[in-house]
Amino acid sequence: MRYPVLKLLAAGGAALMLATGCAAPRAPLKSVVSVTGPSGTVGGDVYQTRRSLGEDLPHFKGDQVLEIRADDATKDRDDKTREIIGAECTVQGDVFSAKVITPSGVRIPLYGHRSTELTLECTHPEYQPMITRMEPYNHSKQQRQTAARAQPGLLGLAVGALVSGIYEATVNDVENDIFKYRQTPIKMLPPGYEAIPPKPEPAPGDRDS
């Protein structure tokens, strides 16, 4: 499993820290494709046939166009050349997949809180192969929290946080919430660089009290 790139090591051992700034404009999508499901079905509800046969499978809640993009992990966000054009990528779900060339979009079927993890694998002649995993997140909950906290000033922030907690406790409906995937480009490394994994989380007993 590859780790998110926090810091990079060049072949000579010098560390490169990525600077943050205004992101450069993105290239337009080459295409938007649908996933291929069981028995070669294309797009839509990939569980429909099995559910009709009595299997306990989640209900289809629409789809999301997930942008598949790749970035050169050694370049800053404001570098116009950071986006990698022409990487060959495969998006793999539990029972569906799609192949695209960056930058492209994939229509990912959504199944609420039972949406599954995606695996994204990309290759390019000038970069090392890279694999990353994408977890679904509760988009409805995030929207509720953002709306509740949209209050001006420090007092507003405190009140917003309190209201958000109370509101979430009373209206949280995970069965009907919308879950999506974050639009996050995969980071690719040229030859001679390696990702430095993040430090492991401390054991519960080692945490500061």
Mean pLDDT of the chain: 82
pLDDT at 82 over 60: yes
Residue 43, CA distances (Å) to 84, 122, 129, 159, 176 in order: 27, 22, 27, 44, 22
Residues in contact with 150: Cβ distance below 8 Å, sequence separation at least 6, in sequence order: 160
Average pLDDT over residues 81-93: 96
Cα(40)–Cα(52) distance, integer angstroms: 18
Please answer whether residues 47 and 60 qualify as being in contact, where contact means their C-beta atoms are separated by less than 8 angstroms. Answer: yes
Cα(154)–Cα(129) distance, integer angstroms: 46
Q: What's the pLDDT tens digit per position in 95-104?
A: 999 999 999 9
Give pLDDT, residue 9: 42
Give pLDDT, residue 94: 95
Give pLDDT, residue 174: 83
pLDDT > 90: what percent of the chain? Answer: 59
Confidence grade of residue 80 (pLDDT, cut at 50, 70, 90): confident
Cα(122)–Cα(131) distance, integer angstroms: 7
Q: What's the pLDDT tens digit per position in 151-199?
A: 665 555 555 555 555 555 545 678 889 999 999 999 999 999 887 665 5
